[in-house]
Chains A and B, each alone.
Chain A
């Protein structure tokens, strides 16, 4: 029961759809390589063909590589007990920067599951899925700039007025010469200690906080 990836690949090649490429990584998760233009047609075939019956789009993943951006689709069939990995790629132009968005056709019209998956990949990797009904950011706030899972992503220095660099908020001064964590200085006697009004030990009717002069622990 079920077909293996080679058989499915042979079936896709025989279907006459333009842009079905080879089969890569044959020993571990064999992957069918596709041209972006063939994507919607192949997905429709995968879903509707009786022998394939891929009912579910399991996952959509974009991968930022050195010279290209991949979009990887995992589909599976429950009726036929088989699954398939498909990959499509967009080559990076030489002058690609953060504002470059690779364009891949959306498969949301074939599988409704692609809706959120594609939105997430747009959000995190900036892949523009053409024909998507509602390509908004999904996880990050709408005003976010950039796509954080891209390799060329520049970390923001602040968000909403809050500095994001760890160096900007020194947690403690580290002694660089000896490279040992600092030891807390003992408080001198008579240091005012702030007893918060809501401390569990505060008496209920004390009425607000009363700074107590303390001598050590006494």
Chain B
């Protein structure tokens, strides 16, 4: 708002600009996908904004009503395509809750390690592309180098680089190879050094701080009101993480990690830098979780016996049952809501996508800021349009 007061035309009565409607997106690199924002501009200052979404709507919920519970897992990959493991996990947990499936212990630990690896990969994209949004190109290449290592690690058990379909109702699809744990630990050691590099490169960069501190301030009450979750909520100072508070996987209870929150280090609490810095610290917490997970990984089966029969004759959920399952994804809380009427597929499937709710607050954050800061704000929300539109 300060910017608005500084630059409004009232102050310089001889200079005026007519209101300009500006169409940001849908094909614009700074919108991180196919997001379209209708902006009303007064010179360089945004006076009004209206999001237009739906360009990537692929009817995932409708498809879910027409395929079996097991068949829907690959579709969840394609929602938040940067965090497929976490999406698989959320869907698998929903089905397990609905049908009362037990998951072997080893599978639970593998799920945790894989989804934390995917969280780092996802945050690396957020970090790299945020640099580009602000005008720093180098971090992107650094981030993709480490992301490549993670993708190669996750490819070994799952066979895919991005859309894994690895975590499935009943466990995980197959066990990891013998060297995998050692390679994951080697990656952790490597990553810690790289993480220090990122901070010298971008986090503590003077220009970067100037561009992000005190920009796009999201207050706690607004974040809660609009249903923001994940790093966006934690950036505003709310210490809430499902992994710690409602451990949806047993191993999360047995590992030790912190929940970083925004502290207003370089400006007001809940600004773009706070959200960015929460993500950066979360990567290191994930490394901590992975290390402990690798040390404690038990042996045994990775898939329940029941699941093999699910392929041959699809399992049915109880009539009238419905289950809502929340999971902490890199972008916030992903929840699936499945309603059964006794058949092999749900009669209604709802995906509560974190990016969808985080994006809803954008129209409140943009008015009063400069256009260039608007790009910084969109980037700091770290949305994936595949998930917004589903």
For B389, the chain A residues whose CB sits under 8 A away are: 139
**Nearest CB of A to B335, in Å:** 6
Proximity string of chain B (347-377) to chain A, C-beta cutoff 8 Å, 1 when within and 0 when not: 1101010001100100000000000000000
Question: Cβ of B224 and Cβ of A56 under 8 Å apart?
Answer: yes
Considering the chains assembled together, what is the distance between the CA atoms of A81 and B389 in angstroms? 29
- Comparing B53-61, B73-81, B171-179, the segment that makes contact with chain A is B53-61
Question: Cβ of B350 and Cβ of A61 under 8 Å apart?
Answer: yes
Question: Cβ of A59 and Cβ of B59 under 8 Å apart?
Answer: no
- Comparing A4-12, A13-21, A111-119, the segment that makes contact with chain B is A111-119
**Nearest CB of B to A129, in Å:** 15
Proximity string of chain B (50-87) to chain A, C-beta cutoff 8 Å, 1 when within and 0 when not: 00011001010110010000000000000000000000
Question: Cβ of B224 and Cβ of A55 under 8 Å apart?
Answer: yes
**Nearest CB of A to B352, in Å:** 4
Question: Cβ of A59 and Cβ of B324 under 8 Å apart?
Answer: yes
B113 within 8 A of A: no
For B61, the chain A residues whose CB sits under 8 A away are: 124, 149
Which residue of A63, A85, A115, A138 is within 8 Å of B347 (Cβ)?
A: A63
Question: Cβ of A113 and Cβ of B320 under 8 Å apart?
Answer: no
Which residue of A63, A85, A115, A137 is within 8 Å of B348 (Cβ)?
A: A63
Question: Cβ of B320 and Cβ of A58 under 8 Å apart?
Answer: no
Considering the chains assembled together, what is the distance between the CA atoms of A141 and B57 in angstroms? 10
Question: Cβ of A140 and Cβ of B227 under 8 Å apart?
Answer: no
User: Which of chain A's residues 151-198 have a Cβ closer than 8 Å to chain B?
Assistant: none
**Nearest CB of B to A121, in Å:** 9
User: Which of chain B's residues 302-358 have a Cβ closer than 8 Å to chain A?
Assistant: 320-324, 326, 333, 335, 337, 339, 341, 347-348, 350, 352, 356-357
**Nearest CB of B to A89, in Å:** 13
For B142, the chain A residues whose CB sits under 8 A away are: none
**Nearest CB of B to A52, in Å:** 14
Considering the chains assembled together, what is the distance between the CA atoms of A61 and B336 in angstroms? 11
Question: Cβ of A78 and Cβ of B238 under 8 Å apart?
Answer: yes
Question: Cβ of A116 and Cβ of B350 under 8 Å apart?
Answer: no
**Nearest CB of B to A115, in Å:** 7
Question: Cβ of A65 and Cβ of B54 under 8 Å apart?
Answer: no
Given contacts A55-B224, A124-B61, A138-B53, could you give 4 more A-B pairs where the C-beta distance is less than 8 Å? A78-B224, A81-B246, A117-B227, A137-B54
A-B residue pairs in contact (CB < 8 Å), sample of 10: A28-B321, A58-B333, A63-B339, A63-B347, A74-B337, A78-B238, A113-B360, A139-B54, A141-B54, A148-B62
